[in-house]
Amino acid sequence: MKTPELLSVAKELRVWIIEMLAESRSGHPGGSLSSVDLLAALWFSEMRGVDAPGGIKDDRDRFIISKGHAVPALYAVLAKKGFIAPEELKTLRKTGSRLQGHPDRMRLPIVETSTGSLGQGLSVAQGLALGLRMEGKKSRVYCLLGDGEIQEGQVWEAAMSAPKFGLSNLCAILDANGAQIDGPVSQVMPLEPLADKWRAFGWHVIEIDGHDMEKILHAYKEARELGQSGAGRPVLILARTIKGRGVSFMEGKIEWHGVAPDGEQAKKAIAEIRGGGSNG
């Protein structure tokens, strides 16, 4: 897909996120909405072998959503891709549903691993990348992280070891929206200078506006080309985003980290998304 189509997809994904959270009356809108543009570009333009129908292909690119609480964004993507029916989105967090509040690979096979305990996804992604390379596969591995999440020490162990193993088939995507459940990331546990830290660990860092679709696409292209060049370095896409992006009364508001909109709020949010501009 090209940029105009991707922007249209991103709007639809945002609407579905709001609808499913309002139906479930629980969930995490802030970090789901901040990651939508990144996921739209990744799943509908960059990743290979992740199309339905056709089953789950062995040579597919892999995606790990390490910030598992933002899984409504992934469920919306899977519905748009055809892996699940859009109607199933309304079962989010309900008893017996495949769509739990955090991803469960035992219920939904296209989900590569169960996440939700923060800090573990990059280690899993690294293991996948190493295993795929050992098997001679050309598949790439993408891992979505949150900036509050990377306060976990395990993330930095993986950040240290991925360059050691020369995992050029690994791309981490940091959804840096600056907010976590306890407050601003800069106050809870400051992380800056983020780009310099990851570079010091040996990563190739690409810093972008995480809502600028052209820049997102260019970043994925740069990451892929670097991996194909034999440079032997993993890539971090440091995406500066806005929590609750696309809904004015949610944008930048920490209180919308894990609170679902009620019926009237959902109607207002959906009307705003559908009537909004073309910048995601």
For residue 100, the 8-state DSSP code is -
Q: How far apart are CA 150 and CA 66, in angstroms?
A: 10
pLDDT digits (tens, 9 = 90+) for 235-250: 999 999 999 999 999 9
What are the DSSP E strand ranges found in the chain? 62-65, 141-146, 170-176, 179-180, 183-184, 204-209, 235-240
Q: How far apart are CA 40 and CA 259, in angstroms?
A: 23
Q: Note the pTM of the prediction, 2 decimals.
A: 0.94
**Full 3-state SS string of 191-212:** CCCHHHHHHHCCCEEEEEECCC
Q: How far apart are CA 79 and CA 83, in angstroms?
A: 6
End-to-end CA distance of the chain: 15
Of the candidates 155, 146, 157, the residue with the CA atom closest to the CA atom of residue 238: 146
Torsion sign (Cα): 175, 260, 180, 248? positive
What pLDDT sits at residue 280? Answer: 47
Q: Indicate whether 123 pLDDT > 90.
A: yes
The answer to whether 127 and 57 are in contact (CB under 8 A) is no
What pLDDT sits at residue 54? Answer: 65
As a residue count, the chain comes to 280
pLDDT digits (tens, 9 = 90+) for 86-95: 999 999 999 9
Q: What is the mean pLDDT of residues 46-55?
A: 81
Of the candidates 107, 209, 194, 114, the residue with the CA atom closest to the CA atom of residue 159: 194
For residue 144, which phi and psi values (nearest 5 degrees)? -95, 120
The answer to whether 276 and 211 are in contact (CB under 8 A) is no
Q: Indicate whether 52 pLDDT > 80.
A: no
What pLDDT sits at residue 55? Answer: 64
Q: What is the mean pLDDT of the chain?
A: 93
pLDDT digits (tens, 9 = 90+) for 93-112: 999 999 998 999 988 878 99
Q: Which long-range contacts (CB under 8 A, 24 or more apart) does 195-203 make?
A: 195/238, 198/159, 198/236, 198/238, 201/156, 201/159, 201/160, 201/163, 202/162, 202/163, 202/164, 202/233, 202/234, 203/159, 203/162, 203/163, 203/172, 203/233, 203/234, 203/235, 203/236
For residue 172, which phi and psi values (nearest 5 degrees)? -95, 140
More confident residue, 152 or 59: 152
Q: Indicate whether 272 pLDDT > 70.
A: yes
CATH numbers and ranges of domains, the chain: 3-275 (3.40.50.970)
Q: How far apart are CA 2 and CA 275, in angstroms?
A: 21
The answer to whether 231 and 225 are in contact (CB under 8 A) is no
What pLDDT sits at residue 224? Answer: 96
pLDDT digits (tens, 9 = 90+) for 171-218: 999 999 999 989 999 999 999 999 999 999 999 999 999 999 999 999
